[in-house]
Amino acid sequence: MPIYRLKWIFFVLICFTAVFAYDESADVLRKAENQYKANRFDSTIIILRTYLKNHGEDKASLEMVPLLMEALMRKGDFRFSRRLFQIYIKRYPESSFLPRLWYLEGVAIVKEREYGNSFSAFSNSLKGGVSYSIDSLIRSNVQRLCEKTLTADECAALASRNDFHPRVEEIVRYCDLSKINQAGRLYGAKQKAADYIKKFSRSQYSSIVKDMLDRADKQQRGFVEIGVLAPLSGMDAEIGRQIVQGIQLAIDKFGASSDFRIKTVMCDTRGNMLETGRKVQELINEHKVSVIIGPVLSQDAIVAASMLVGKEIVMITPTATDDGIASLGPNIFQMNVPLGILGARMAKYAMDNCMIRDFVIFSPANEYGAALSKGFEDEAEKKGAEIIDAVSYEEGTHDFRDQFEKLRLKLNIRKQQRTAIEKSLEGESTDDAKIKKNNYKTEKHYTAPEDTTLQIGGLFIPAESEDVIQIASQLLFHRIHAQLLGSSGWYNPKIIAEGKENVANALISTNYQPGVESDREWIDFRNVYKARYSVDPDRIAALGYDATMLALQSIKDKGGDRATAAQIAQVLTSVKNYKGASGPVSFDPVLRVNREAAIMKIKDKQFIRVQ
């Protein structure tokens, strides 16, 4: 065979082999990608590792190794992913996949707690050019690590480095400044804030840093600004007036012996959520207050608390009772006991002190009834009690016949079921006593006896006085006997005057009511208030007074005009058994709400505190 023909055959074989190899690698990559998209990461890893084990030198590894690293990261194999990255970067130093792989490298390093190296990897990723989504992930990861994981010293060490990408450096230096400010290191915070504004004038944090700088200047001048949010006009103006008068008494008393000056910024919310939002914005941006007393109404307090998330401002609402307001931010506090806690406290007392293990809830179909009922039911179920039924009625109902007839039906069935079980266990087997599980009369066809008095352990009625009076009298008519349990809506002289014997010995969970007991704090407050305003105060004014006294004392404890919002919040969180004019105050360290509910008993035609 001629030599030229042999060369031609050899050339064809080489081309065929190359094409075959290319087709095989493309097919492997396609299969691996399909498995990855289907979240079958183990399969992805097996396909790629099997191929690369024998073809690691192929050019196909340029695309296969990044996909393998992605799958390994998904499975938590960070060490092997890092080893592959070191090999890959040496072999393909110009690969377009490197920015993405630098990001994965940074995430893997975080898992090994090498935070400085992880920030360097993130910086390399940003320098190489990444998508907007990866850019956002990097910035989010860096900020979360700085705020939640790094100590102040670690953050300061990283802030002193100059090898990070500008976007990483911007976040690290901001977090370092924030930690210094929270620690109350005034002069260091001022200097770093000034440097930060010069270098990162267009930073997303620049407005916050400017606020820090402004606060530092104010603190050096030796006074503290407190914002007040209250309805001074409109339908709720009377409530706002009493709150403000209580606040002013507290400021006057505290200021007489304080070593720092107190300035109040009064804001009229008009009892309007939109106006509340405007006033909060004003207190944040123009006055830069460190503490806000208010708002007074729950809906306004929700607006204010939402706007203060992430702000260096403490908010204490004296009177808002909606559940969850304080949970909107770590610096939000509620002086008035929330409705859910009042319900839970009633359930706990009934179970622990009255040994009641079965309850019926009889509530109006409104927010007040729902919040109290949920708190009661959650606490009862948590402690293993039985909620026999939860009856609701529309506001304005006067005749509760339908509700009571359905309740009697359920109670009768429950009673006879229990009787049958007891007799069965005792060995009796009569047709009248035995109730078979799969052949029992349904409620639809069952008629309850009309001449029996049925027993309930406790009947919880979270309603206002008008409803309570009617329900209590109709309860007796429908021959249902129970320990009556109530809520703050019961605390009204009308209950005793018109409810008479029907509400005797009822127990209610309510906010502490000053004047019920001759406590010195209330008497002193009442005397001072009356001397100044010529009228007797009520609990609303006392709540404003106590909220302000607690805020000012917390500021004093943390250095007066040098106190930060975080420091003030820390002191407030630890408040336990504070004896205020409005009653005792103990903030739950997690929920930041006052848990000091009072249990009252109607006895001898008066409300008597029993706990």
**Tens of pLDDT along 346-389?**
999 999 999 999 999 999 999 899 999 999 999 999 988 999 99
CATH code given to domain 223-334+519-588:
3.40.50.2300
Comparing CA positions, the residue from 542, 583, 452 lying closest to residue 250 is 542
Residue 141 pLDDT: 87
pLDDT of residue 276: 95
Cis peptide leading into 66, omega within 30 of 0? no
Give the contacts of 203 (CB within 8 A, at least 6 positions apart): 170, 174, 196, 209
- The pLDDT assigned to 6 comes to 46
pLDDT of residue 4: 47
DSSP sequence for 39-79: T-HHHHHHHHHHHHHHHTTSTTHHHHHHHHHHHHHHTT-HH
516 and 493 in contact (C-beta within 8 Å)? no
Residue 152's pLDDT band (cuts 50, 70, 90)? confident
Asked if pLDDT for residue 329 goes beyond 50, the answer is yes
Vertex 285 angle, CA 284 and 289, to 5°: 40
Pairing assessment for the beta strands 454-461 and 507-511 based on DSSP bridges: unpaired
Bridge partners, 392 (sequence order): 363
Distance (Å) of CA 157 to CA 41, 71, 150, 162, 366: 38, 34, 10, 11, 55
The confidence score (pLDDT) of residue 425 equals: 64
At 413 the pLDDT is: 84
For residue 218, what pLDDT is reported? 66
How many C-beta atoms surround the C-beta of residue 282 within 10 A?
Answer: 14
Whether the pLDDT of residue 210 is over 60: the answer is yes
Lowest mean pLDDT among 12-16, 416-420, 484-488: 12-16
- For the chain, give me the number of helices (H) and strands (E)? 22, 14
Q: What share of the chain is helix, strand, coil (3-state, %, to 5)?
A: 60, 15, 30
Q: Which residue has the tokens 């610096």?
A: 331
Check pLDDT > 70 for residue 449: no
Q: Is the pLDDT of residue 455 over 80?
A: yes
DSSP, residue by residue, 104-137: HHHHHHHHTT-HHHHHHHHHHHHHH---HHHHHH
Q: Band of the pLDDT at 344, cuts 50, 70, 90?
A: very high
pLDDT score at 443: 47
Mean pLDDT for all residues in the chain: 84
209-223, 281-295, 380-394: lowest mean pLDDT where? 209-223
pLDDT of residue 380: 92
Tokens linked to 478: 């429908």
Count of C-beta atoms within a 10 Å radius of residue 19: 10
For the chain, the farthest-separated pair of C-alpha atoms sits apart, in whole angstroms, at 127
> C-alpha angle with apex 504: 502 to 510, nearest 5 degrees?
110
Phi, psi for 391 (deg, rounded to 5): -95, 135
- The per-residue pLDDT for 330 is 92
CA distance 495 to 518: 23
Instruction: Determine the Cα–Cα distance for residues 548 and 292; give it in Å rounded to an integer.
Output: 9
Report the length, in residues, of the chain. Answer: 611
- Are 313 and 291 contacting, i.e. CB atoms less than 8 angstroms apart? yes
pLDDT of residue 372: 92
Q: For residue 160, which amino acid is it?
A: S
Q: Which residues contact 359 (CB under 8 A, 6 or more apart)?
A: 347, 350, 376, 380, 385, 386, 387, 388, 456, 457, 458, 459, 460, 485
More confident of the two residues 440 and 569:
569
Q: Is the pLDDT of residue 13 over 70?
A: no
Evaluate if residue 552 carries a pLDDT over 80. Answer: yes
CB atoms within 10 A of CB 235: 10
pLDDT digits (tens, 9 = 90+) for 284-316: 887 788 899 999 999 999 999 999 998 999 999
Residue percentage of the chain with pLDDT more than 70 = 88
Q: What fold characterizes domain 3-219?
A: 1.25.40
Instruction: Compare 196 and 516 and report the one with higher pLDDT.
Output: 196
Interior/surface letters 509-544, b for 16+ CB within 10 angstroms, e for the rest:
bbbbbbebeebebbeebbebbeeeeeeebbbbbbbb
| Domain range list for the chain | 3-219, 223-334+519-588, 339-512+601-609
- How far apart CA 325 and CA 314 sit, in angstroms, is 13
DSSP code, position 577 = S
* Second-level CATH architecture of 339-512+601-609: 3-Layer(aba) Sandwich (3.40)
Rounded to an integer, the average pLDDT of 441-458 is 64
Q: Which two tokens stand for residue 335?
A: 């002086």
For 242-310, give the DSSP string.
Answer: HHHHHHHHHHHHHHTT-SSEEEEEEEE-TT-HHHHHHHHHHIIIII--SEEE---SHHHHHHHHHHTTT
pLDDT of res. 433: 46
Contact in structure between 335 and 546 (CB atoms under 8 Å): yes
Question: What pLDDT, on the 0 to 100 scale, is given for residue 134?
Answer: 85
What distance in Å separates the CA atoms of residue 191 and residue 195, rounded to the nearest whole number?
6
Q: Residue 279 corresponds to which tokens in the numbers above?
A: 């006033």
Distances in Å between the Cα of 495 and the Cα atoms of 4, 490, 511, 611 are: 117, 6, 17, 20
Asked if the model's pLDDT at residue 245 lies above 90, the reply is yes
Query: Which tokens go with 469?
Result: 């009076």
Q: What is the separation, in whole angstroms, between the first and last Cα of the chain?
A: 113
C-alpha distances out from residue 138 to 110, 135, 143, 154, 500, Å:
12, 5, 9, 19, 68
Which residue in this structure is represented by tokens 């073809």? 55
- Return the C-alpha torsion angle 212, 218, 223, 229, nearest 10: -60
Q: Nearest CA to 468 among 508, 434, 440, 436?
A: 508
If you average pLDDT over residues 17-32, what whole number do you get? 68
Domain 3-219 matches domain 339-512+601-609 at the CATH topology level:
no
Q: Which residues contact 44 (CB under 8 A, 6 or more apart)?
A: 32, 35, 36, 67, 68, 71
The two structure tokens encoding residue 602: 């109607």
- Lowest mean per-residue pLDDT among 31-45, 182-196, 261-275: 182-196
